[in-house]
Structure 1
Amino acid sequence: MDPQMLRTLEYDRIIDQLIQQATSETGKKAAAGLQPSPRGDEVQRMLQSTAEAIDLLRLKGNLSLEAVSDIHPALQRARIGGLLTSVELLRVAGTAGAEETVCSVLEGMDPDETPLPLLRELSGQLKETRILARTIRGAIDEDGAVTDDASPELGRIRRNIRQLQGAIRTTLDEFLRHSQYQKMLQDPIITQRNDRYVIPVKQEYRGAVRGIVHDQSASGQTLFIEPQAVVNQNNRLRELELEEEREVERILGELTAEVADKADDLESNLSVLTQLDLILAKARLGKRMKGIVPGVNMDGFIRLKRARHPLIPMKEAVPNDVELGREQRAIVITGPNTGGKTVTLKTVGLLALMAQSGLPIPAEEESDLAIFTGVYADIGDEQSIEQNLSTFSSHMTNIVHILDSMDENSLVLLDELGAGTDPTEGAALAISVLERVLEQGCRVVATTHYNELKLYAHAREGVINASVEFDVESLSPTYRLLTGVPGRSNAFEISRRLGLPEEVIQAAKSQLSSEENRLEEMIGALSEDRRRAEKERREAEALRQQAEALLQDLKLKMESWDREKERIRESARREAKTIVSRAKREADAVLEQLRRWARERPGELKEHRLIEAKKRLEDAEPETPTAQSVDRESTRQIRVGDEVLVRTLGQKGQVIDQLGEREFQVQVGIMKMKVGREQLEWKGSPPQESPDKGGTSYRRRSDQVRPELDLRGRMVEEAIPEIDKYLDDALLTGFDHVSLIHGKGTGALRTGVRKFLDQHPRVKSYRSGGQGEGGLGVTVVELS
């Protein structure tokens, strides 16, 4: 890509933001050198790896590689036998330990649930260096000091040093506390000079203190004397310190040798970790700007949905839709100054460069960008004082460069085409340049003020007019892009609202040709019709959504009422059964008592009378709706796969096998049991898939329930019963997460599904599908 064009489109500012998101030293360097790629396979791979990194960060939080450093110089010195310092070894340990960090994160994720093929492939290239990292960190602390545990000899030497230092201090403390010497001391403290312990003695008492003078104060009033009593101890201390230095050097030498042995592996890992940090930086930048990973194509087609300029604060940026490259290969944007034409131009170019660098773009799902061999832009007033070029000359110099460099796979962005010279000649030149670019086969977006270009775009095949909206009432632009409608200058209307006399405005209008007046009136009428149509469409859409929501709410209420009525009926049946059972028990007790009396008084009571009395009691038991429904259901044929109610358990199950004419094997949850036909109540048959109607992808089987349910093509009232049954089956199977595929469409089915989920007792939570899960077309449900 042309570096000048990258600067024109402010690609360097995006790179600055990317550098801030990288966590490692080498990752920041890689981010600084990132360039858009014209190769389709490379762009696809970069974008896929970015999408995987977004999923990784979403599932695992942040993965920092800040410990990774540029250790190439240290590795080179280790290879040639140089001695690495403790700080250099710590940097090596940070890079070596990152291998374990990355591998542990990816190994802790189920490859079936989160495949992440590119990231796993990249991490698979890492060589094992974690043992070296542990060895170095076991010998050197975070401050870069070699620890006592680095070797037994070093530990012994340092213990002796500490003991000797304690002895010297004890001797000197006694010296300081001695009344004979207290008046001779400048301060009762112990200090060091030339790595030897000394005490500050006043100048006049030099001869009274036997020892070695190591230093004196700036005023000469204080001498720092090593008393004779500790000279031998200080000598021994110095010997131990030299032994310590030699042992530390030996330890560093051994660690350096281990680094040299692993130098090739460390260098390979550094390259992989740098790539991984750059990929993660892209994902973090995408999250920061609420971006998505776009689709890409080699067909020169651009479709941006609610795209924003990434350098404008999110709250201020106005999202726009842009489509280019199929029926229309060029867009001519007109409208007032400061209306957003140049921002739209830069947005298209910058997002194309970002996508070809593997970066997410601030747009909505289903956005698609072409892969261009070059993105060329002539934007803004680039007058060159040094070259003594006018605005027009500067623009034409850029355009000449673009015409010489472009090919059929280029994107060309031209701002204020033909401006800076005579309007008639400028318009003619602008049309000629556009024709040349279109003949070359490029995709082009141009902005202009010329009416001639509006007419050209209207008449030329493959070119479409567009404009940036201007609110005449508030005298301010809305920054919305209106495709298919050319822009108006609004000069007369703005002047009128600002107070310019009407006669002056009318005189100005009379200077225009009749064709120009008709063009302005036509554009004004088109703009007004479009605004009115959009307003009515929004109102109609709002009413339709409101009606659908109301219908769904009513259906849910009806279902709730039906369930409540059935609950009340069932409660009444149970209560009636309880009353009757109590009566039967009481009757049996009475009959038993009567029999006992009969045995005691034979001849007074007859047995047949007792039987008749019991029969009357049994006949008194009322028939319940359940009994009637059981009689009706007893003749229904039950097949394998049907859902049934096991009356003895009061639980639903599924028939998995038929053991005989009136005996079945039924699975209830994790239990399988043999049940007779009389104990079964048929509840439903499994749904059938239609091969030519994109029906549900879920089919109930005894041994398999799929983790997703495809509802596309369903009405809300058709989908709700399927979801209810599917959630029951998913719970029995043991799923804790399932996906409901409803598509995007108008959003009515998604709204209905989510309202149902809000009321379902076993739904813990739900969310929209993420990157790689289907986006807004899928609802992921967590079951409890």
Structure 2
Amino acid sequence: MQDIFKKLDLLDYIDSFSKLLSREKSIILEGDINIHHRLIKELSNYQIKEPPKLENLDSALIHIQKQGILKVYEIYEFVKIIKYFSYLKKFNFDGKLQEWIDKIIIPNEIINISSYFDEKSNLRQGINEDYDAIKGAIYQNKQEIKQSLYKIINSTKLRSYLVDSQVHYINGEECILVRGGFNHILKASVINRSNSGFFYVLPHSVSALKQKQSDLLNKQEEILLKVCKEISSLFEKNLMFLKFINKEFDRFDHYQARIFFAKIGDKNFILPSKKGLNKLVDFKHPALHEPKPITIDFSKSVVMITGVNAGGKTMMLKSILSAVLLSKYLLPYNAHKDTVIGTFKEINAVLDDPQSVKNDISTFAGRMVEFSKLFGAKNAIVGVDEIELGTDSDEAASLFKVVIEELIQKDIKIIITTHHKRLAALMAANPNVELIAALYDEENRKPTYEFLQGTIGKSYAFETASRYGIPHNVIKKAKEVYGEDKDRLNELIERSSALEIEYKQKIAKLDDEIAEHERLNRNLKETKENLDDHIYMEKSKLHKEYKDARDEAKKAIKAKVAKGHQHLNIAHDKAQSIKTEKVQEVVADLKVGDRVKYRSTKGVLISIKGKKAFIENDMGMKVQVLLADLQRSGNPPKVKAKPKTTVTVQKPDSGHVKLDLHGQRSDEAIENLDKFLSDALIAGFDEILVYHGIGTGKLSYAVKKFLDSHPKVKSYTDAHPSQGGFGAKVITL
């Protein structure tokens, strides 16, 4: 694993991630990557304190299994895990995250042990009376030592021999600093001498107190050993739970570290996809300082990168492989969310020159060894830097053409960099090959670190040599030796690249013009619809004014105004002559199922009868309208989603890892065992314990026979004597 990280320049990146883990472990997160990603996404919505720093507990678990006694600091490492999961259980999570936390059921006896210790791993007051008494006696003894020393320091007889009035700590002992001749006044033992020739001494009166302190500390250790023995015995009974929660802690630690790492630098999680697409969008390799973002489609089986020297070809190759590797292990990185990475079982990088004195192998032979391994791989991605390295380029081109075509058939994706054009020319006609050229700035005479898909790039060897100080006359002679024909070929390649760039620029310009044209069309259509609505409103207004005028005329008739009927008829004729038609778009070939618009209402055309039509609007109401009043709506008809069928697996009520079958009949016991195994599998347990007893052996035989036939049972063995021996089975699922 470290080898591939080193080849892809990812060691520092992985190291910075590993520092966020609470304890040293592999960065690989085993299990279903989709479930892990979902839990990480849910967990990122909560503000949770980071897991505590822990030691590796594999040795401690083995020690417990062998009925050993743990040290206090080892017990406290388990206590830190229990306390952290107790803290997590206080949160009201949602979805899969809550289901996962609910599966972790901590036995009450284990919770009680976690309350034995304070935050500094010391035994709390009130847990053990003898320990509390010894602790108090030790404190009292320390006070007596302190008072005795200060009493001696303040003695008038000794004052002339004292260098200072302080209590010194030398070699773990409290002592005083005196001049020579002190033994006439004070009986004491010399512990050490100062650089000035004075003496650090321990008075005999204090020595007795120190001996008492030593005896008390020994007694305290004996009591503490007894407590550790009791706790270790309890841990042995709950060994499978401790293994389970230790593993779950590492899993949670992986999640939290990835969340914190993603927040640093605003990284994204790119989940491997099975869509068959592979595309990097604005990817930034973490080893580069302020890199140019890389965008490249590498969906085809072979990606061949050619072009200018020192133009970024190798880093392009490393970027592709790095993105695949980081996605495979669910590590966030700097890339746009539109990035799509496929699923690969193997990731290989053939980047280095394998030649060395130690392995006695040539460069080309080493490359052949690497390629031979690929013929046994499946669903792999491999990157090869300078593919023709170490042999004749023309021969290598013919060989590698056939090799690459064979590997394509084995579902292997290959990323290649090369300076030689023959292989690129041989592979150019293959539809499974994507050509990519590293570009060169002719005007400024330097690489652009940009890439163009669909063409072969020129190496610019002479230009690069000139840029790095090779004399011009040497380069001129080299060009003469190179030959005019090959130079013309380079010019054709360069011209092809230039035409390709111009072609892509024109396409981009046309796309912009088309988008602008579509925008203007939409604006015109909206303007026309607004005008239609305005005309319709004006027509309605005129009809209302006519109705008001007619009502006034009727009133006049009732009042017997002369010639009232004549005026009314004239007004009616004039109103009938007003024909304000709504401006309409000619709708051709409207058919059932089309998306249509009637005034401000939009819906779907469900039937046509002559000049009339029935539509169902977006609110679900059916309306009859004139067919001529309908306009086609640009949006496609909405398709009602089919009801989603879900299968719910009921979570088991019990989260225990033990089952006792004592006293049960064989058929009753097998039925209970079957249900217990199902609950354990759903709960995610890897190992369970079943007690069946010894007795006549009938129940033991029935249990063995059932376990042999169960498809989810990997293996089973007799339990440890402390857990039931021959009368119990440890079952691995």
Shared fold by TM > 0.5? yes
Task: Judge conservation of contact 1:468–1:482 (CA < 8 Å) in 2.
Answer: yes
Instruction: Decide which of 411, 414, 417 is 2:381's aligned counterpart.
Output: 411
Instruction: Decide which of 26, 45, 56 is 1:30's aligned counterpart.
Output: 26
Q: Does 1:370 align with 2:366?
A: no
Question: What is the deviation of 1:274?
Answer: 0.9
Pairing of 1:118-197 with structure 2 (within 5 A): 119-128=97-106, 132=110, 135-136=113-114, 138-142=116-120, 144-163=121-140, 165-166=142-143, 170=147, 173-174=150-151, 176-180=153-157, 182-183=159-160, 188=165
Q: For the residues of structure 2 that align with 1:289 and 1:529, how far apart are their CA atoms?
A: 38
Q: State the partner residue of 1:480.
A: 450
Amino acid at match of 1:397: V
Choose between structure 1 and 2: higher helix proportion. 1
Amino acid at match of 2:376: S
Task: Judge conservation of contact 1:334–1:468 (CA < 8 Å) in 2.
Answer: yes
Q: Give the direction of change, closer, same or farther, for the CA distance of 1:290–1:456 in structure 2 (3 Å limit).
A: farther
Q: For the residues of structure 2 that align with 1:383 and 1:235, how far apart are their CA atoms?
A: 69
Aligned partner of residue 306 in structure 1, secondary structure: strand
Q: For the residues of structure 2 that align with 1:507 and 1:233, how far apart are their CA atoms?
A: 95
Aligned partner of residue 25 in structure 2, secondary structure: helix
Cα RMSD of the aligned pairs, angstroms, is 5.0
Q: State the partner residue of 1:319.
A: 294
Q: State the partner residue of 1:396.
A: 368
Aligned partner of residue 468 in structure 1, secondary structure: strand
Amino acid at match of 2:288: P
Pairing of 1:215-364 with structure 2 (within 5 A): 215=190, 218=193, 224-227=202-205, 244-288=220-264, 290-298=266-274, 301-306=276-281, 308=283, 310-313=285-288, 315-325=290-300, 329-364=301-336
Q: Does 1:108 align with 2:86?
A: no
Pairing of 1:460-499 with structure 2 (within 5 A): 460-490=430-460
Amino acid at match of 1:56: L
Q: For the residues of structure 2 that align with 1:62 and 1:180, how far apart are their CA atoms?
A: 63
Task: Judge conservation of contact 1:291–1:363 (CA < 8 Å) in 2.
Answer: yes
Pairing of 1:672-691 with structure 2 (within 5 A): none
Aligned partner of residue 279 in structure 2, secondary structure: strand
CA-to-aligned-CA distance 1:491-538 (integer Å, 9 cap, x gap): 57778999958995998499344xx56654443333223323444455
Q: For the residues of structure 2 that align with 1:108 and 1:543, how far apart are their CA atoms?
A: 53
Q: For the residues of structure 2 that align with 1:417 and 1:279, how far apart are their CA atoms?
A: 39
Q: Give the direction of change, closer, same or farther, for the CA distance of 1:547–1:85 in structure 2 (3 Å limit).
A: farther
Question: What is the deviation of 1:399?
Answer: 2.7
How many pairs align? 542
CA-to-aligned-CA distance 1:132-187 (integer Å, 9 cap, x gap): 46744553451x44444544454444445545654565566555545455446665
Question: What is the deviation of 1:214?
Answer: 4.3
Task: Judge conservation of contact 1:296–1:371 (CA < 8 Å) in 2.
Answer: yes
Question: What is the deviation of 1:267?
Answer: 1.8
Q: For the residues of structure 2 that align with 1:231 and 1:199, how far apart are their CA atoms?
A: 13
Q: For the residues of structure 1 that align with 2:122 and 2:424, how far apart are their CA atoms?
A: 74
Q: For the residues of structure 2 that align with 1:195 and 1:517, how far apart are their CA atoms?
A: 83
TM-score (norm 2): 0.61
Question: What is the deviation of 1:205?
Answer: 6.0
Task: Judge conservation of contact 1:215–1:224 (CA < 8 Å) in 2.
Answer: yes
Q: For the residues of structure 2 that align with 1:322 and 1:207, how far apart are their CA atoms?
A: 93
Pairing of 1:635-646 with structure 2 (within 5 A): none
Instruction: Decide which of 56, 63, 70 is 1:70's aligned counterpart.
Output: 56
CA-to-aligned-CA distance 1:447-475 (integer Å, 9 cap, x gap): 22233223223333433322111211222
Task: Judge conservation of contact 1:77–1:83 (CA < 8 Å) in 2.
Answer: yes
Pairing of 1:764-775 with structure 2 (within 5 A): none
Q: For the residues of structure 2 that align with 1:352 and 1:266, how far apart are their CA atoms?
A: 35
Q: For the residues of structure 1 that align with 2:393 and 2:487, how far apart are their CA atoms?
A: 18
Amino acid at match of 2:343: I
Question: What is the deviation of 1:270?
Answer: 0.5
Structure 2 residues without counterparts, runs of 5 or longer: 527-598, 607-616, 622-632, 636-733
Task: Judge conservation of contact 1:383–1:394 (CA < 8 Å) in 2.
Answer: yes
Amino acid at match of 1:280: Q
Q: For the residues of structure 1 that align with 2:376 and 2:327, how far apart are their CA atoms?
A: 21
Question: What is the deviation of 1:401?
Answer: 3.6
Q: State the partner residue of 2:536.
A: none
Pairing of 1:486-635 with structure 2 (within 5 A): 486-490=456-460, 508=480, 511-513=483-485, 519-536=489-506
Instruction: Decide which of 35, 40, 50 is 1:53's aligned counterpart.
Output: 40
Q: For the residues of structure 2 that align with 1:73 and 1:15, how far apart are their CA atoms?
A: 26
Q: State the partner residue of 1:16.
A: 15
CA-to-aligned-CA distance 1:727-750 (integer Å, 9 cap, x gap): xxxxxxxxxxxxxxxxxxxxxxxx
Q: For the residues of structure 2 that align with 1:18 and 1:194, how far apart are their CA atoms?
A: 42
Q: For the residues of structure 2 that align with 1:201 and 1:56, how far apart are their CA atoms?
A: 64
Q: Give the direction of change, closer, same or farther, for the CA distance of 1:307–1:395 in structure 2 (3 Å limit).
A: farther
Question: What is the deviation of 1:310?
Answer: 3.3
Q: State the partner residue of 2:400.
A: 430
Question: What is the deviation of 1:99?
Answer: 1.4
Q: State the partner residue of 2:73.
A: 87
Q: Give the direction of change, closer, same or farther, for the CA distance of 1:310–1:505 in structure 2 (3 Å limit).
A: same
Amino acid at match of 1:350: S
Amino acid at match of 1:324: S
Amino acid at match of 1:91: E
Question: What is the deviation of 1:342?
Answer: 1.9
Structure 1 residues without counterparts, runs of 5 or longer: 557-683, 692-696, 702-712, 716-784
Q: For the residues of structure 2 that align with 1:54 and 1:314, how far apart are their CA atoms?
A: 29
Q: For the residues of structure 1 that align with 2:152 and 2:103, how far apart are their CA atoms?
A: 66
TM-score (norm 1): 0.57
Q: For the residues of structure 2 that align with 1:314 and 1:546, how far apart are their CA atoms?
A: 38
Q: Give the direction of change, closer, same or farther, for the CA distance of 1:475–1:125 in structure 2 (3 Å limit).
A: farther
